[in-house]
Structure 1
Amino acid sequence: MDNEPLDLGTDKSLLLVDDDEAFLKRLARAMEKRGFEVETAGSVVAGRAIATGRPPAYAVVDLRLEDGNGLDVVETLRERRPDSRIVVLTGYGAIATAVAAVKIGATDYLSKPADADDIVNALLARGDALPPPPENPMSADRVRWEHIQRVYEMCDRNVSETARRLNMHRRTLQRILAKRSPK
């Protein structure tokens, strides 16, 4: 994918909305290398302002942002530019949020960590054609570990509360948390 030029059309504008600043910068650089004209936002407010003032041809929006829900940005963008291609990214993969994202106009939905090639494939996929599967998807063990870590953080690192919400024995959870993340 690195050597072949992408067919982005005449409007190469891309809005990236994510509150993880390091991820946002890395993704912006990667997308610029692929020919996009990138504009970034770190919040729902900033993302909606750009979507209203300069609606881009493409957008990648994180679902959960510090100041609200990324779907608000998707809605604003869909109202201002119905032909925009929008991919929703999230570390909290769930069927319900995927359905909600697509219903309000997202083109696709990817779980973090998605790499730039996966995102480009999703942005440029046309019609009912699914993008090719990722070259190196996360292992099932890694997906499980990521989910446990998210719930643990949401419970303010309270092991007992996390174990209760995951319907897991507290000692089992403690052993999992003590280990390194799987590959």
Structure 2
Amino acid sequence: MTQALSAAALDQLFLQARSHNAWLDQPVTDSDLQQLYELLKQGPTSNNCCPARFVFVRTDEAKQKLLPALKGHNGEKMLQAPVTAIVAFDSRFFEFLPELFPIYDAAAPYRENPEAAHIAALRNGSLQGAYLMLAARALGLDCGPMSGFDTTQVDEAFFTDGRWKSNFLCSLGYGDASKLRPAGPRLSFAQACELI
């Protein structure tokens, strides 16, 4: 745990990894998705609150259900991908805190404060969505994260009880590297960071 990852591992996770929009005809199995979750769930969240929820859209029927909510070319990308994860969060995540964090009553700040619960769920659920992408890359899968969709439509189609809320989408599979555009630039350390 104190040793840096190899250059090859850093390339796979970060330096050579890309956001994919086109996919090879290669399946992602249920076992792959279960292994993916077993990895990503180990990432830290505040008080181990684990608010993220994942719906893995794989069947033609489920893809057609998701399609009307996507904007622009995102629909085509989702239809071609073997799997698209709806990365959501549970607005009542705190009900699991007695099990997940039994040290003290960590749910107390959220029971009567929906705004605080929303902020915690969105923040920590977004972290877990990032863990999903890192875990996928670690397992040899490629990712295609998307935010170009109507959250209200997704929530009405998939989360009718209103408890889960969609955050972002992420297609998963084996990307077609021949369809990648050149990598975009990133901000320098001096542009994005301060040492104080």
Report the TM-score when normalising by structure 2. Answer: 0.24
Between 1 and 2, higher relative CO (CA 8 Å, sep ≥ 6) is seen in 2
